[in-house]
Amino acid sequence: MIERLNVKNGFVILATILAASAFAWPLFATALPQQAQAAVPVVVFALVPALIVVISLLLDGAVSSSKTLALLGLLAAVGAAVRIASTGVGGFEAVFIILILGGRAYGARFGFLLGMLTIALSSILWGGFGPWTAFQMFAAGWVGAGAGLIPGRITGVADKAARRREIMWLIAYGVIASYLFGALMNLWFWPFGVGPETSISYLPAGSLPDNLSRFGIYTLVTSTLTWDTVRALTTGIGLALIGVPALKALRRAKL
């Protein structure tokens, strides 16, 4: 039983690494032979949704209890409601609070699935399905999973100071995750988002350092200083305001 679980976990990690490298395709596609380069985006677009399916099937058995499923479904609905309700102020901000708290309270696997399902659900309800949906599902899944993996997790009874410390960890994580999420979502999209012949364009024949610096400017100017900062602020402030009682509320349900 334990061995089978470990093999499964190994596959989950493998699929995650594959997906992460799919996000970074602009950085290594240049190293491939010229004939193969044109195929890379097509492969990436097919690979990421396929990995979503694979990872869902791998994690399916781990969330089979009725309590986990009911929590996962209802929290995804709350996340989608928050996401759709806050679209007016830039889209993605407040939903990070739910993902981080969910991943923290119920663990990395739960957090990953919560992120994936929240994006899937809000896309179904609101429209906005696109080539980006699968990428968003992965990136949001990582945000939720990360919250379950970072240290300082409280188990059992804890005093107020320990709870505050835990929230400080989460705030720091939330801010970093906000920026990383933005950068990751920019990375795979960058060659499409900016056409050729600008100073921030992707160069199919360029060197890695050259492309990295161009990408750096692109992501800094188009999102790091704007959307990502708004997201980092709302996530950080939101966690500071409601983190302690919200985590306590979530932990009232024992999985």
Partner 1 sequence: MISHSRGRWAPFWVSLTFAAVFILLRIVYRLVFGSFSWQAIGQAASLAVPFALVIVVCGFLSALVDVRKLLPAMSALRYGRSIGTALAIALSSYPTLIHQVKLLGTARTLRGVRSRSAFLVPLLEHTIERAVALAAAMDLRGFGAGKPASVNDSASIELDHFTLRYGNKTVLTDVTLTIPAGEITVLTGQTGSGKTAVLESIAGLSQHFHNGQNTGTLTVGVIDRNLTPPRLTAGLIGYVGQDVRLSFAAATAREELEFGLRVSGHTTAEASNRAEELIAQFSLEAYADQPIEILSAGEATRVAIAAALALHPRILLLDEPLADLDRDARAELVALLAELQKLEQLTIVMAEHHTSELERLTPQWLSVSSGEVCSGQWGSDVDTLPARSLPVVGSDEIFQVSNFSVVQGSRELVQDVSLSLHVGEVLAITGANGVGKSSLLHALAAKAPSQSICRLVPENVSSLFITETLEEELSRADSLADHKHSGLTAMTFWSILATEESPELLSVHPRDLSAGTQVALAIALQLAWKPQVILIDEPTRGLDAISREAMAEVLRCVAETGTAVLFASHDEAFVSDLGCRVLAIREGVLVSDEVTA
> Could you list the residues that contact partner 1 (CB under 8 A)?
53, 56-57, 59-61, 63-67, 69-78, 80-82, 84-85, 97, 101, 113, 117, 120-121, 123-131, 133, 192-201, 238, 241-242, 245-246, 248-250, 252-254
Per-residue exposure over 48-66, b if at least 16 CB sit within 10 Å of its own CB, e if not: beebbebbbebbeebbeee
- CB of residue 253 to partner 1, shortest distance in Å: 5
Is 151 in a helix, a strand, or coil? coil
Nearer to partner 1, 128 or 204 (CB): 128
Q: In the bound complex, what is the minimum distance in angstroms from residue 65's beta carbon to partner 1?
A: 8
Q: Residue 59 CB, nearest distance to partner 1 (Å)?
A: 7
For partner 1, the closer of residues 81 and 172 by Cβ is 81
DSSP code for 31: G
Quick one: angle between helices 108-126 and 133-149, nearest 10?
A: 150
Q: Which is nearer to partner 1, 6 or 87 (CB)?
A: 87
Closest distance of CB 243 from partner 1, Å = 10
* Nearer CB in complex with partner 1: 30/234: 234
Between the alpha carbon of residue 178 and those of residues 112, 131, 206, the distances in Å are 16, 21, 29
Interhelix angle 66-85/108-126, rounded to 10 degrees, is 50
- Residue ranges of alpha helices (H) inside the chain are 2-23, 25-28, 34-37, 39-60, 66-85, 95-106, 108-126, 133-149, 160-193, 208-219, 227-251
Shortest spacing between CB 192 and partner 1, in angstroms = 5
Q: Toward partner 1, which CB reaches closer, 30 or 235?
A: 235
Maximum separation of any 2 CA atoms in the chain, in Å: 61
Whose Cβ is closer to partner 1: residue 49's or residue 152's? 49
In the structure encoding, which two tokens stand for residue 114, read together?
């919560």
Q: Which is nearer to partner 1, 146 or 243 (CB)?
A: 243
CB of 141 to partner 1, least distance (A): 12
C-alpha 152/C-alpha 240 separation (Å) is: 16
CB of 130 to partner 1, least distance (A): 5
Q: Which residues contact 217 (CB under 8 A, 6 or more apart)?
A: 199, 200
